[in-house]
Amino acid sequence: MHWADVLADELAKEGEKKHVLATGITPSGPIHIGNMREVLTTDAVYRSLRRRGVEADFIYVADDYDHLRKVYPYLPESYEKYVGMPISEIPCPCGDHKSYADHYLITFLNSLKEIGVKPKIYRANEMYKKGLYNEAIQTALENTDKIRKIIETISKRELPKGWIPFNIRCDKCGKITTAKPILYEYPNIEYKCDCGYEGSVDIREGGVGKLPWRVDWPARWKMLGVTFEPFGKDLGTVGGARDTGEKIVQEIYGYPPPKYTVYEFILLKGKGAMHSSKGTALSSEEMLSMTPPEVLRFLILRNQPNKHFVFDPGVGVLSLVDEYDQQERVYFGKEEKTRGMKDLEKTYELSQPYEAPKKMPYQVPYRHLVTLVQIGKNWGEVKKILKRTEQIPKDLSEIDEKHLKQRVEHVNYWLEYFAPDMIRFEVKKKIPKIKLMTEQKKFLSRLIENLSTASYRIF
Ligand SMILES: [Zn+2]
Ligand SMILES: [Zn+2]
């Protein structure tokens, strides 16, 4: 059974209730492929649940009220002054977006459409400002001692004296990391900030601060009714945020912890694990730009979430598409199954961004497309070549044309940014000035002769 079915069965067993499947991210940098894995893993479970007729929602929480932790390698030094401020309140690095958070979030959300994922989007900054967290904040502050004990016991980390489960946003400098509480008396917290400012916030007003991550996460589970949320293995360590979250959600918020699956890292060939904070990541958008969407889904969904795998943005992409195409032929009964094609039908269906095709899409070997694209450049020209050489039918259907055109676009991106030099070539418009020896001339004219009369097949 496919792992998505196993997880869906487990959730469905809980009886008649509506499920809320959550995913999320702090958009503090280019959103890397690990987050794509989280989203696609959840999408697979969501689809499997819906197929069983179980009512379910799929949500994506962008924690854009989290603060900027440091000046990452991809940021200008001038961002030093924003460290500690919520990323929804920091200007966007390119100037075209509403905020720093939007700069990274918007492109990712756009790419979700291409891979056929449509979660309901929540933005933490709006949730805080609208006051949706107010009750959770009050409950947390009333239970400061208990929460402190839970975090200290489980994480084995000592919290500073005077710590409260709330990061106050300083009215003057706008940071949520530097204001120290002096006195809490509902509904006000008096504070003194490192910038020298002394003031007070009223927690009944939204957007005056933020729950620390270890409290924010469980508070959100209860608030949004989350029943399932996968997380990366970095959060699942002993004493980590998931461990403390489980205890806090039960003991402070009186809500059962959501079911989960832990997903492993995707390793980048030659670079190891991907971390966006170190600037060594391949962003989700880049990965999607070079890989056809159905193939990207295939790569992630055929692997058990708890298994790491390596993504090779070089020639590996070509082999991956070949593998996908082969499984497609098997799915449509054009080829025999080979070893290792476990859960093929389910994986193929889950790999489709939208409805699975009724008829097998017209296939042109991907490696051949890589050659043609370097001759023809765009789909119009590639199509002409394919027609001339009778590799596609004259009456290519609209769906097939769209599919091939999309593949040509992905090939183009890959050729420009990731293809190894040995694969790249260029057709010269002018004959270069080189002197050929008689032998070479003879060889070339014979080659032309032979080619013009040869019958050939591709690969
Ligand atoms: Zn921008
Ligand atoms: Zn301040």
Counting ligands in written order, the one closest to the CA of 90 is 1
Omega prior to 86 cis, within 30 of 0 = no
Helix axes 398-417, 366-376, angle to 10 degrees: 80
CA 84 to ligand 2 centroid distance, Å: 10
Helix axes 344-351, 3-12, angle to 10 degrees: 80
How long, in residues, is the chain? 459
Query: Given this model, what pLDDT does residue 420 score?
Result: 93
CA 98 to ligand 1 centroid distance, Å: 8
Query: Given this model, what pLDDT does residue 280 score?
Result: 53
Low-confidence ranges of the chain (pLDDT < 70): 271-281, 456-459
User: How big is the chain by its Cα radius of gyration, in Å?
Assistant: 27
Counting ligands in written order, the one closest to the CA of 95 is 1
Distance CA 150, CA 168 (A): 21
- What the block records as the tokens of 346 is 């389910």
Instruction: Say what the pTM is.
Output: 0.91
C-beta neighbour count of 115 within 10 angstroms: 24
* Burial state string for 35-50 with b = 16 or more CB within 10 A and e = fewer than 16: bbbbbbbbbbbbbbbe
Query: Given this model, what pLDDT does residue 283 score?
Result: 87
Distance CA 155, CA 166 (A): 18
CA 93 to ligand 1 centroid distance, Å: 5
Counting ligands in written order, the one closest to the CA of 93 is 1
Query: Given this model, what pLDDT does residue 456 score?
Result: 60
Q: Is 160 exposed, middle or buried (0-12, 13-18, 19+ CB in 10 A)?
A: exposed
Counting ligands in written order, the one closest to the CA of 94 is 1
Tokens 């004493």, located at residue = 239
CA 193 to ligand 2 centroid distance, Å: 5
| DSSP bridge pairs for 86 | 67
Counting ligands in written order, the one closest to the CA of 75 is 1
Contacts of 296 (CB under 8 A, 6+ apart): 36, 115, 287, 288
Task: Report the Cα–Cα distance between both ends of the chain, in Å, rounded.
Answer: 35
Query: Given this model, what pLDDT does residue 1 score?
Result: 94
Query: Given this model, what pLDDT does residue 454 score?
Result: 77
Contacts of 373 (CB under 8 A, 6+ apart): 382, 408, 411, 412, 415
Query: Given this model, what pLDDT does residue 276 score?
Result: 47
